[in-house]
Amino acid sequence: MFNLFKKKVTFTITLIVEPDGDRFHAYCPALKGVHAEGSTEKEACDNGIDASIAYIKSLIKHGDAVPLGVEVKEEQPMFPMMPQPMKCVHQVQMTI
C-alpha cells in the first residue's frame, strides 16, 4: 500500500574520485565496497552517487545499519617528495 507519510532522509557522503589510467575511479570510504568508474571525473562521480544510493537503499530495505558519521583520515605518504595522484573529494547530499 502506498504510504503518504513516508519520510525522506538526506545523507551526506564523501565521494573520492581519482584518475585511473585513462579513466576515473570513484569510491566512498564510509560505504564498504562502493566503487564506480567513468570516462570523465563527472561520469565517475555520477556513477558513484548512483552506487551509493543503491547501497544505502539496500541497507535500509534489509534492516541493516547505515554507517553515518564515519570519519576517514588519510595517512601521510611515507615519501612526501614522490608525486601523488590527483584526488578530488566531493561532499554529496542525497535524499532517499
> Distance (Å, rounded) from C-alpha 34 to C-alpha 32?
6
- On the question of pLDDT at 25 being above 90, the answer is yes
Residues 6+ away with beta carbon under 8 Å from 89: 14, 15, 16, 17
Per-residue confidence (pLDDT) for residue 39, from 0 to 100: 97
Per-residue confidence (pLDDT) for residue 86, from 0 to 100: 54
Q: Contact at 8 Å (CB) between 29 and 44?
A: no
Secondary structure (3-state) at 61: helix
Q: Euclidean distance between the first and final Cα of the chain, in Å? A: 18
- On the question of pLDDT at 92 being above 70, the answer is no
Per-residue confidence (pLDDT) for residue 56, from 0 to 100: 86
CATH for 19-71+86-95, options being 3.40.50.300, 3.10.310.40, 3.30.160.250, 3.40.50.1100: 3.30.160.250
pLDDT in tens, 40-83: 999 999 999 899 889 988 988 899 988 865 443 444 444 444 44
Per-residue confidence (pLDDT) for residue 83, from 0 to 100: 47
> Distance (Å, rounded) from C-alpha 16 to C-alpha 95?
19
